[in-house]
Structure 1
Amino acid sequence: MRHALFAMILLTVAPAAQAQDDSCAQTEAWFNEAVESRQTGKSERAVRRSLRADMGEEAADQLAAFVFALPAEQLSPAVGAMARAQCEGL
C-alpha cells in the first residue's frame, strides 16, 4: 500500500518541472523538506501548507500524508533519495 501511494505521489509531482533531471531533483527536495519538517516537530497541516506553495494542493496533501504515515525510524534523507531514484526511473 505504501509503495502504491508513493508511486501516485511521484506521478503527481514529477511532471511539475520541464526537464526530468530538474523535476527529479525538485521531487527529492520536496520529500526531504517534508521529512525534515516532521523531524523538527511541525504538524502535518503546517507541512501541507508549506508544500502547497510550491506544488499544488493535491500533491502537497498526498506527500504530507505519506511522510506522516512513515515510522519515525524511517525519516531520513533516504526518503528523498528513493523518491528521486523512482522519478528517474519513470
Structure 2
Amino acid sequence: MKKISVTMIALALTSVVCSSAFAAKEITKEEAKQYEKVGEVSTINEHSAPSDAMKEISQKADEMGGKYFVITSGTEGHKIRGTATVYK
C-alpha cells in the first residue's frame, strides 16, 4: 500500500463525506485543543471508499463517548485505512 500524508487523507475524507452525516464530527488539531482527549481509534476493515473509512471512525468515536475526532494517519492504495484521536 502507498502511504500518503495525514493532510491528504484528511482532505480526501472530508471532501467526500459530509461531516453532519455522522454523530462524531471531524475537527482540526487547533480546534481539538479546547476538548478533552478520550482515546484513539482506527479502522479494522480495509475500505474501498474514504466515506466508509470515515463512517467507521465516526462510529468508533461515538462508542467511546467522543463527540469529535482528528484524523491522524491514513493509507491509500487498493484499500483505505485510517486512524484518529477522539475528543469530548
TM-score (normalised: structure 2)? 0.31
- Structure with the higher helix share, 1 or 2: 1
- Structure with the higher strand share, 1 or 2: 2
